[in-house]
Structure 1
């Protein structure tokens, strides 16, 4: 039985923890805010006082944080990993961040005598709970083999890609078409509704076409409810998270000194949606936001 630590009990960290507990693993938890831990401790997880205790009681530590500020605290603060001896510990970094950032985190762990693997994942909360994530693994190959049994518990598929940074590059590439899709769906719905076709009927037909993204079929009710002013407040991936990832994509493209017009244009829509109160809504509701915005402009 593995001794696993989870650092970061957000939406994904919580569901990964539940999956591991249901797989009869020993799981310890640490989160900067303690109110998110209660349900998981009732399921059998051990809450730790601080990050140092989490490291001490764990062999493999999964870190999955929401932004770079949280990552800097975990890795680089006086209470963070840089101040610890990580000999015999393996860090699996699952956060979505930039390629430069992930490489800097690897250096912190290596300087503290630990082993480091990045494994950003494709999939949201439901696949996390069911052990059906897509793992994008990069780092030392021998370290990867040491954590492979753990990856089998939480991933339907995992791919070893090479050196650290390649996992983050693949994750941004996976997310980019999806970020654009919700917005193109909104524009498509604006065409139909402005020509007198019912929103829900339009959505249903679009979902039955070759143009529908794989995930879209899972979001039909969420989109319909959002259009009818009944938004589901429980999002699996929020608009604000989308904006964060899109800014990372643009950052990588600027490093390449290339112009990527599609993602830059799409980011403007998302920034507007955040400013108009969609920040914590499910990302699929960008389609509703854009459809309504365009319709109001055409009236």
Structure 2
């Protein structure tokens, strides 16, 4: 499979496409806002006008779009993927979506005799550009095996998790972790700063203990310095938190902390912090304490 299609050239999709072009793959891409495909086109990617055209010219199509409605639109809507089907076509959805919706989408693809797997990832464009994402995979294992080598060029670690929808469940659980870590660091930094203590001392102590994380060792220092280069926006994380709570309701469980986090991130977006990195939640915590 040397022909790969990318539908959705946001920050992540752009980085994945550029990396695959570096590896010599023939990349065909589509994005609703064509201007965002400029880098991919300049590097040799073929930009087309519809998901259908992407499918027609690809062996593996990767969708990286906003939500399940967007996945359904590019898949089954006007000039969608299914209208460009051909022998051996595989669809891999890298979007972060509701697991229940993912199962339905997989089933709908099978109605068209197209194999689809779930491939959500951890890691942003900064690691996607060098193929170092962590990928969770679910769906038909034989389908996964057919494109495993291609996916291994995108991610340094691949975890096959079982039937359709499972990978998206685990992805939501992973994003739940980063939600809580960002909040706890924001509140910890705010607390020690209020006492007149250098918050970097707090981080030095934290990072000398069992409780350190990659976020506390790297992004937390940028949080203190007010550097929020967005690898994953606060608005996008809020969207995923909404999905977490909807999924919890569907499963009949209560997740009280993420329920509260949804309110906090919703308020942060309303206060104008939506387009900065999700770690910019510290700005919202600072703002409500400056009132």
TM-score of the aligned structures, taking structure 1 as reference length: 0.91
1:282 equivalent to 2:277? Answer: yes
Segments of structure 1 that go 5 or more residues without pairing to the other structure are: none
CA contact (8 A) 2:92 2:119 kept: yes
Name the structure 1 match of 2:252.
257
Name the structure 2 match of 1:62.
62
CA contact (8 A) 2:98 2:168 kept: yes
| Deviation by residue 1:97-128 (Cα, 9 ceiling, x = unmatched) | 00111112112211112111111111111111
Instruction: State which drifts further: 208-217 or 261-270.
Output: 208-217
Name the structure 2 match of 1:119.
119
Distance 1:285 1:206, change over 3 A: farther
Distance 2:194 2:222 in 1: 21
Deviation >4 Å, runs of 4+ = none
| Deviation by residue 1:210-265 (Cα, 9 ceiling, x = unmatched) | 33322332314431232xxxx44x30011111111111111111122222111111
Name the structure 2 match of 1:79.
79
Distance 1:139 1:99 in 2: 12
| Deviation by residue 1:116-163 (Cα, 9 ceiling, x = unmatched) | 111111111111111111111111111000010111101111011111
Q: Give me the CA root mean square deviation.
A: 1.8
Shift, 1:48, TM fit: 1.3
Name the structure 1 match of 2:143.
143
Name the structure 2 match of 1:235.
230
Distance 2:192 2:62 in 1: 45
CA contact (8 A) 1:190 1:294 kept: no
Shift, 1:174, TM fit: 1.1
Shift, 1:81, TM fit: 3.1
| Deviation by residue 1:80-110 (Cα, 9 ceiling, x = unmatched) | 2344545421001110000111112112211
1:129 equivalent to 2:129? Answer: yes
Pairing 1:102-113 to 2, within 5 Å after superposition: 102-113=102-113
Distance 1:135 1:74 in 2: 22
Segments of structure 2 that go 5 or more residues without pairing to the other structure are: none
Name the structure 1 match of 2:265.
270
**Aligned residue pairs, count:** 291
